Structure 1
């Protein structure tokens, strides 16, 4: 049920003596310390404790002011009610007058009787018929999301989120009772004011995690693209650390000798990329090829 709009002409209610006391304390605090930011809940608690121990003589000026406001409110409310009753009577008179005017016709119309002939169609007469075709609406296509593979590698965290993971316990420990939005705001301020050395540290950690993620994705894509059946388990299981972001040709040969599966991946990537280069297409998985080989071309001796 919608609320009735507030009447701006209605008199405001009187203020109690305690409310006047709290308002006075707040104004004095603002006047003495204009640049101080204080929690008003703390001020209200202190005022409540002070009000309980005050005697009647100290409360007298606030009680007198509250009595004057109550008298003022009664007088203004009586005048307001009289004005409202007069407006209601005037509206009732106007509505009654308008209803009378609507019931009495202002013009008279001369209606002349006319004769109409009814024509009954025979068998020889044909009547035109129109058929309206209703086209069924196409059902709205629901956008189906592809199910996520639980075995797929998880995306790495950025430098900011790595920083938040380390700083969030510190924020909770320094200030208890903070909401989620307050914690996020505090973490953003700390990241903005963090020194460049600290940011570079998290940027480097995020870059390392990104390279590990790319290596995991290369293994995952190779396993999912070769066959639908689960891949055979190699003698020595591969880890993301077997694929470094940058390494020399000697390290490639060492990795190939240690893991036969890595040699098979490099041969397949080598054939696919050179096939695409011969066809004039250099846009097919260039990043994956550069990431696996460390940005160096793979020669026949390496393969």
Structure 2
């Protein structure tokens, strides 16, 4: 008798050709630099640039892996029977409604830097798209002097201390009631991207 998959055995989501490519890049990088801490933003950017310059012949094996994984997923889904709770949720996550009075989350040194620098990039490069501005900001941060980075790291530490203090006071007052809302179309897309990232781990 064929074993039917349960909720805990829900098939892993399909992996795209690009996701297989990034996974391969990670493995190659880890072999060459086993002790190096990877900065995901920079690594992801390099992967994206490399993928764009690859020929269809070079991409072929990753598309084949994606096709194989799609077949694996479809085969596993044929025998998967979701629980009653899963049926009610229709496979979508429900988002918690955030309390507008909750403390604002602390910003990292990098985000504090781009907050200050974004207007300078826009002014110097009015023809830049949003994506190009982001790339330039990332390049400027990577090339920034250690003294500049230290300044923003100190600001980030102060902002973190501010957040922890405000959060402690917020918890004493009592949190916003925990409500959930159906995900919007944009949130659904975010969930799909998050699932693809999880499949790489």
Q: Which has the larger radius of gyration?
A: 1
TM-score for the superposition, normalised by structure 1: 0.29
* Greater relative CO, 1 or 2 (CA 8 Å, sep 6+): 2
TM-score for the superposition, normalised by structure 2: 0.42
